[in-house]
Amino acid sequence: MDWGLQNRIHRMFSPASGNTVMLAVDHGYFMGPTRHLENARATIAPLAPHADALALTRGILRHAVDPTLTTPIVLRVSGGATILKEDLSDEALTTSIEDAVRLNVSAVAMSVFVGAPHEHESLVHLAELVDRGEQYGVPVMAITAVGKELAKRDARYLSLACRVSAELGAHLVKTYYCEDFGQVVEGCPVPLVVAGGPKLDSDRAALELARNAIDEGAHGIDMGRNIWQSEHPVAMLKALRAIVHDKATVREALDILSREKGTPKAKNAPTTA
């Protein structure tokens, strides 16, 4: 692997834990002004200093992020469909590698739609993006999207999608946590990070998801809604960092959350992760 590419990857992962906490704020590219991300600048500013990387599009980067920010950027470079269409898989590459380099990003990211109507196009686009990224030393993160028509987030499907992404040259893969997640990790030769998905019932549930994913071999999280749709986004991000980087149990992370929220420790919470 070329020096520049390795260097960009290492900017995003902690040398101590080997893991990363990416903050995903790219939802608007197909969902529009998602709840609590309507004013992207206001949502991102307090969170960005606590993230190891920010995952977003060039529009939000240019218009809602201060250029003095030193947090590494993972630039989403695919798009072309919105939630108004049945088929979300009709995406193409929407940003050139030259623009990504101009924006000084640490990685580019795109969705792959294994099993969806535009599976073929998304996989060919991934291979093309890897070729372009390698030319400039920019790593590529494949996002194993689960479109409307791909509701099955099980280990069999996600193993297939992650492995295919790695075979086509992705340097990192973002996927979803699922039962038997270890199987997904085992079949994927590149680091995996997990998305959170729609807001879960509680902060605890999101912390548990992160704990389980790391225990089963994920190298971090790339989480959005369960952070910035939480009532206490910064506290939630700090609690997640403790899980991803400091081996905190869910109980310990909940204590961090309570402390950071300025409220007493959670009572009657189970003591195990």
- As measured in angstroms, the least distance from the Cβ of 265 to ligand 5RP is 26
Rounded to whole angstroms, the maximal C-alpha distance in the chain is 54
Contact call for residue 97 and ligand 5RP (CB under 6 A): no
By beta-carbon proximity to ligand 5RP, the closer residue of 73 and 255 is: 73
Query: What DSSP string describes 187-205?
Result: T-SS-EEEE--SPPS-HHH
Whole-angstrom Cα distance, residue 148 to residue 262?
A: 39
Question: How far apart are alpha carbons 209 and 205 in whole angstroms?
Answer: 6
**Residue 22 near residue 196 (C-beta atoms within 8 A):** no
CB of 2 to ligand 5RP, least distance (A): 26
Q: Note whether 222 binds ligand 5RP by CB under 6 A.
A: yes
Q: Is 255 in the site for ligand 5RP (CB under 6 A)?
A: no
Per-residue binding string, ligand 5RP, 6-45, x by CB under 6 A, is ------------------x-xx------------------
Identified binder of ligand 5RP from the candidate list 211, 225, 241, 245, rule CB under 6 A: 225
- Closer of 50 and 225 to ligand 5RP (Cβ): 225
Q: Candidates 44-52, 58-66, 94-102, 220-228 — which segment interacts with ligand 5RP by CB under 6 A?
A: 220-228
Of 85, 148, 152, 174, the active-site residue reads 174
Q: Rounded to 10 degrees, what is the CA torsion of 205, 179, 162, 27?
A: -30
Is there a catalytic annotation at residue 174?
A: yes
User: Could you tell me the end-to-end alpha-carbon distance of the chain, in angstroms, rounded to an integer?
Assistant: 37
- 132 lies in the site for ligand 5RP, by CB under 6 A: no
What is 47-116 written as a DSSP string? HGGG-SEEEE-HHHHHHHS-TT--S-EEEE-EE---TTSS-TT--EE-S-HHHHHHTT-SEEEEEE-TTS
DSSP letter for 217, please: T
Residues 140-169 that bind ligand 5RP (CB under 6 A): 143
Name the residues annotated as catalytic.
174
Chain residues that interact with ligand 5RP, rule: CB under 6 A: 24, 26-27, 55, 143, 195-197, 222-226
